[in-house]
Structure 1
Amino acid sequence: MSKLRLGLVGIGMMGRNHARVLNSIDDIELVSVADPAGDQHGTAGDAVVVATVSEMIAQGIEAAVVAIPTTFHLQAGLELADAGIHTMIEKPLATDSAESERLVDVFENAGLTNAVGHIERFNPALRALRTRLENGDLGDIYQVATRRQGPFPHRSFDVGVVKDLATHDIDLTAWVIQSPYAVVSAHTAHKSGREHEDLISITAMMIDGTVASHLVNWLSPLKERVTVVTGEKGAFIADTLHGDLTFHENGVVATEWEQVRSFRGVTEGNSTRFAIPKPEPLLVQHRNFRDAILGRSNDIVTMREGLATVAVADACITSAREGRAVQIAEGKA
């Protein structure tokens, strides 16, 4: 069977990870890499390194991954769609909803497989969590709370922490509980002297009534990636840094110590950390993109879904700027 001929736009910090994984998949051939700075770290393997997207397309690629700063996503995406190239673009899909909608339109109208690199959907902890929620292991879902914080990554200067990091939490929350956002209220801060915000606190209501909150920053020496889903039967905690999923269930044994019992709404039950397979999320993401192109399955994050996430991120920025809650436009989330 012939290999899927693939191109990579950008071989910076994230692009190097893409190149490593793509070169490890047997039925994918990384044919060409486009980066005006060249392959400075020698990670392109046997791929032909060129300066532009058009030169990369000329190498006879069938599909492409775009891993360049968000500001350039629209230009690269339009060029690839015009050439009939199936494309996955790193998250966020584009700088704002208007640019994202243009990309959705051109790829859907061309009938091309299109995807966004929302890698958290391929994290083993979150995939196991979604399955357990679907099975009713938590009963009614009450709240989703996420924390995503750490030091500045020295890779993203064209967007702030909302588009760079909070889009992970926005996307994974709607996906895990399978309900879009209804309204958001947010506050941001600028503490590190950069143009864009480096801290945000978001409170949201989902369409199904679930309350969500996201704490995101580039200011903490502690790196944390945690999702807590609380519901009728207890709480799930997904640690996506380590791919761990834990369930703290509500207890069925009454607390006899009156002084302790008076401070508890529910009693403590058993805690279980699940043993789950832990494949590398980026590897799963690329295999699924390949399978979608070949018609084997459709377990990808489409550009239309990526548009919904950018729309929520835009609403969060508007909320923080204008000091008000913002309704999410119907069909955008």
Structure 2
Amino acid sequence: MTLRTGLIGLGMMGRHHARVMRTVEGTELVAVADAMGDPHGVAGGLPLYRSIEELIGHGVDAVVCAVPTGMHEEVALTLVEAGVHLMVEKPIASSVAAGERMLEAVTARGLTGAVGHIERFNPALQELRRRVDEGQLGRILQVATRRQGPFPARIADVGVVKDLATHDIDLTAWLARSKFDRVSAQTARNAGREHEDMLVATGRLANGAITSHIVNWLSPAKERLCVVTGEKGMLVADTLNADLTFYENGSVETTWESLANFRGVTEGDVVRFAFPKQEPLLTEHEAFRDAILHGTSRHVSLQEGLDVLRVAEAMIFSADHGEAVAL
């Protein structure tokens, strides 16, 4: 079976979806839609529609929604009513309540719903998770992330927490296989916009691991870093370059007494791994396809997307009210 796919939202992210959707085996991109037209020339020879209803009318099995976050619920519910599988860009919705309605509708119809948390599909993080699952780190003690860079002018409807930090919330829980239990956060608004542009957050997962997250839109240098520390060492993923490095806890005895007392563990071997590196967006689309056709669960489900949004809103609440929030 070949899935007939459609795309709504032809902005900066939509054009990348269109490029990749043309290459996914077992699927055919048959039409695209955007109320504002096609500023990047995405359609090519495909039919270009102005609304989700027109796109559905063309005949599609699954649709990728790259519209602004505030439109996710409306578009998703229209697709569900028509019996169409869907993947929405992250975050799942503009509010937890909207995300709950989307999840309820998709579940009731037995459709596949996915959220485009693309960072989970970065090859460095895919390899990191594989090694964590194999026990290379032993018990996970801490997950720390840094996600910083200049402000993207295309983002207008949400702040840095729901736009950028949702990546780190998702990948942290996914890598550690544990949900957030508690968060505490500080935010700032320095660029004269309605929404926050800086975040510093800490958290604790249900499995006892602690987390820290530095996220902002005000750094002149772009940084995407995830550090997972365990009993046996530390894995560091640089997702900008899809690099993964392992810092092993050393097994060589330290005879310098004061140094040994201070460090607690000794420095062991350092290894930078080589592994296949497929484009994350393609991996994400393949996971969505396989969920529809074969019932696999490599995709980011609507439930997982909703869990991420709950944590994001808890961080915003914590920052606004000056108190830690239990999830």
TM-score (norm 2): 0.97
Question: Distance between the aligned counterparts of 2:248 and 2:195, measured in 1?
Answer: 40
Q: Aligned residue for 2:177?
A: 178
Aligned residue runs from structure 1 range 1-333, under 5 A: 2-257=1-256, 260-261=259-260, 263-295=262-294, 297-328=296-327
Question: Distance between the aligned counterparts of 2:202 and 2:188, measured in 1?
Answer: 15
Question: Distance between the aligned counterparts of 1:150 and 1:6, measured in 2?
Answer: 33
C-alpha offsets along residues 220-272 of structure 1, whole Å, 9 cap, x if unaligned? 01111111011111111011111111110011113344565454222111001
The code of the aligned residue for 2:186 comes to H
The code of the aligned residue for 1:104 comes to L
Question: Distance between the aligned counterparts of 2:280 and 2:11, measured in 1?
Answer: 19
Unaligned ranges ≥5, structure 2: none
Question: Distance between the aligned counterparts of 1:298 and 1:211, measured in 2?
Answer: 26
Question: Distance between the aligned counterparts of 1:130 and 1:66, measured in 2?
Answer: 27
The code of the aligned residue for 1:277 comes to P
Percent sequence identity over matched residues? 56
Shift of 1:204: 0.3
Asked whether the equivalents of residues 6 and 63 of structure 1 are also in contact (C-alpha less than 8 Å), the reply is: yes
Shifted more, 258-267 versus 182-191: the winner is: 258-267
The code of the aligned residue for 1:267 comes to T
Question: Distance between the aligned counterparts of 2:60 and 2:227, measured in 1?
Answer: 41
Question: Distance between the aligned counterparts of 2:270 and 2:284, measured in 1?
Answer: 30
Asked whether the equivalents of residues 23 and 45 of structure 1 are also in contact (C-alpha less than 8 Å), the reply is: no
Unaligned ranges ≥5, structure 1: 329-333
Aligned length: 327
TM-score (norm 1): 0.95
Shift of 1:105: 0.3
C-alpha offsets along residues 101-147 of structure 1, whole Å, 9 cap, x if unaligned? 00000011011011000111211111111111111111121110000
Q: CA RMSD in A?
A: 1.2
Asked whether the equivalents of residues 81 and 106 of structure 1 are also in contact (C-alpha less than 8 Å), the reply is: yes
3-state DSSP of counterpart to 1:294: helix
C-alpha offsets along residues 260-298 of structure 1, whole Å, 9 cap, x if unaligned? 545422211100111111000100110111111112623
Question: Distance between the aligned counterparts of 2:202 and 2:249, measured in 1?
Answer: 25
The code of the aligned residue for 1:21 comes to V
C-alpha offsets along residues 26-69 of structure 1, whole Å, 9 cap, x if unaligned? 43211111101211221223321111000111100110000011
